[in-house]
A and B are shown apart, each in its own frame.
Chain A
Amino acid sequence: AAGVIQSPRHLIKEKRETATLKCYPIPRHDTVYWYQQGPGQDPQFLISFYEKMQSDKGSIPDRFSAQQFSDYHSELNMSSLELGDSALYFCASSLVGGGWETQYFGPGTRLLVL
Chain B
Amino acid sequence: ELKVEQNPLFLSMQEGKNYTIYCNYSTTSDRLYWYRQDPGKSLESLFVLLSNGAVKQEGRLMASLDTKARLSTLHITAAVHDLSATYFCAGPGSSNTGKLIFGQGTTLQVKP
Contacts and interface: CB of A to CB of B under 8 A. Distances in A.
Interface string B33-56: 101000011111100101000000
Contacts of B33: 102-103
For the residues of B in contact with A, the DSSP-based class is loop
Interface in A24-47: 31, 33, 35, 42-45
B94 interface: yes
Interface stretch (B64-72, B75-83, B101-109): B101-109
B42 A108 contact: yes
B105 A42 contact: yes
A101 B48 contact: yes
Nearest to A88: B40
B42 A56 contact: no
Contacts of B42: 90, 105-108
Interface in A63-100: 88, 90, 92, 94, 96, 99-100
19 contacts: A42-B88, A43-B100, A44-B102, A45-B100, A48-B97, A48-B98, A55-B96, A56-B96, A56-B98, A56-B99, A90-B42, A92-B43, A96-B98, A103-B45, A103-B100, A105-B35, A105-B42, A105-B44, A107-B42
Interface of B: 31, 33, 35, 40-45, 48, 50, 88, 92-94, 96-105
Contact of A45 (B48, B93, B105): B93
Contacts of A90: 42-43
Given A88-B40, A108-B41, 10 more contacts: A33-B99, A43-B102, A44-B102, A45-B99, A45-B100, A45-B101, A55-B97, A90-B42, A105-B42, A105-B44
B104 A42 contact: yes
Contacts of A103: 33, 45, 98, 100
